[in-house]
Amino acid sequence: MLMHTKPILGILLGDSVGVGPEIVAKTAASGFLSEHCRPIIIGDKRIFERGLNTVGMDMPHYCITKVNQADWAKGIPILDQRDQNPAAIPMGQASIECGRAINHMIELACELCLSGEIEGFCFGPFNKSVMIEAGCTFESEHHLFAHIFGVTGPFGEINVLNNLMTTRTTSHIPISAVSQHLTTEAILRAITLSYNTVKSAGVEKPRLGIAALNPHAGEGGRCGREELDVIEPAIRKANEMGMGAEGPYPADILFIKAFQGDFDSVVTMYHDQGQIALKLRGFDQGVTVAGGQPFPIATCAHGTAYDIAGKGIASTSSFKNAVIITVRMALVKRREKATYL
């Protein structure tokens, strides 16, 4: 990939006392970031350097105050936030100070996207609890992104493994409450989010597989009516709107078909219906995409991993995959923008 074609991406260090900084540092020092994009690291330079020390690597890096000061021939530029003292935040211990830094990183990265200075961003794992403790008034980073960007359409977490995306209709609610939250409108919203996200990754005609809720897809109403009453009507409406949706399929059969390449995305009815399948298939390879946002944003599918933070043993596979899909989405967005100019 020629230098001038590489997108400019923000690379956020994530929670300073988790594995994020060492993952970012190792990915940067290996040359992977520079191979795929023009990275701008966002965070505290001292935390990045602690990450380098953790993995026993080094590389040319320097501080900038504005994106237009970046010269990637000199090394990796860092928008140094100067807000984290490594001596005051021990590894593996959740801290409100880290929460404040995470909130600042997100706000800055989103502002840089809106100003056109970066084309998207990847971030190391965040800790939602410390973000909220530090003043974030939203339940997750996805809601914060949507607030800053002024998103009014469907948005949310999209899980990705290799070339397969998954979207869920309900998320962090008890299993006992899933059925009452399944409406034709909610399912159609999830299908729309899935369709739009797959298209944003460059698939011209997304193929969507829709999961059933009940065993054997409800057996025609003998084993539950959700398929008849809300799921099938949502699929019909999706197809009327031009979105290629098939189903509902029993989840065990659906994921066999999906992993064989029959679908670009699967829409599930509840959290673990998709998560179990993806994590069994590739636990350390998965990516989380911020679906429905106007800019490409992704991260590794795992968390801060406080238990191994600072040991230099965290895998970079998931984060590298996040970089790859963010680059792909940024290039698709760039092409679409050029088409309309």
User: Does domain 163-284 sit in CATH 3.40.718.10?
Assistant: yes
Structure tokens that stand for 290 in this block: 């911020």
Q: In whole angstroms, what is the distance from residue 329 CA to residue 326 CA?
A: 5
> Do 42 and 108 meet the contact criterion of CB atoms below 8 Å apart?
yes
pTM of the model: 0.94
Strand partners, 99: none
- Reply yes or no on whether the pLDDT at 216 is more than 70: yes
Q: What is the DSSP string of 180-245?
A: HH--HHHHHHHHHHHHHHHHHTT-SS-EEEEE-SSGGGGGGGBTBSHIIIIIHHHHHHHHHTT-EE
Q: What is the mean pLDDT of residues 160-172?
A: 94
Residue 337 confidence (pLDDT): 78
Structural tokens at position 236: 């019909």
**Averaged pLDDT, 129-140:** 95
CB 136, CB 318: distance < 8 Å = no
Other C-beta atoms closer than 10 Å to the C-beta of 160 total 24
> Is the CB of residue 213 less than 8 Å from the CB of residue 226?
yes
Work out the pLDDT band at 5, boundaries 50, 70, 90: confident
Tell me whether domains 1-155+288-341 and 163-284 share a fold.
yes
| Residue 328, pLDDT above cutoff 50 | yes
Band of residue 341 on the pLDDT scale cut at 50, 70, 90: low
Query: For residue 150, with 0-12 CB atoms within 10 Å meaning exposed, 13-18 middle and 19 or more buried, which class applies?
Result: exposed
Summarize pLDDT for 89-120 with one digit per residue, the tens: 999 999 999 999 999 999 999 999 999 999 99
Q: Which residues contact 247 (CB under 8 A, 6 or more apart)?
A: 209, 210, 211, 212, 231, 235, 254
Burial of 67 (0-12, 13-18, 19+ CB in 10 A): middle
- Overall CATH class of domain 1-155+288-341: alpha beta
Q: What is the pLDDT of residues 267-313, one digit of tens each?
A: 999 999 999 999 999 888 999 999 999 999 999 999 999 999 999 99
pLDDT score of 113: 98
- How confident is the model over 18-35, as pLDDT tens digits? 999 999 999 999 999 999
Percent of the chain predicted with pLDDT > 70: 98
- Per-domain boundaries in the chain: 1-155+288-341, 163-284
What is the predicted pLDDT for the residue at 340? 58
- Per-residue pLDDT band at 336 (split at 50, 70, 90): confident
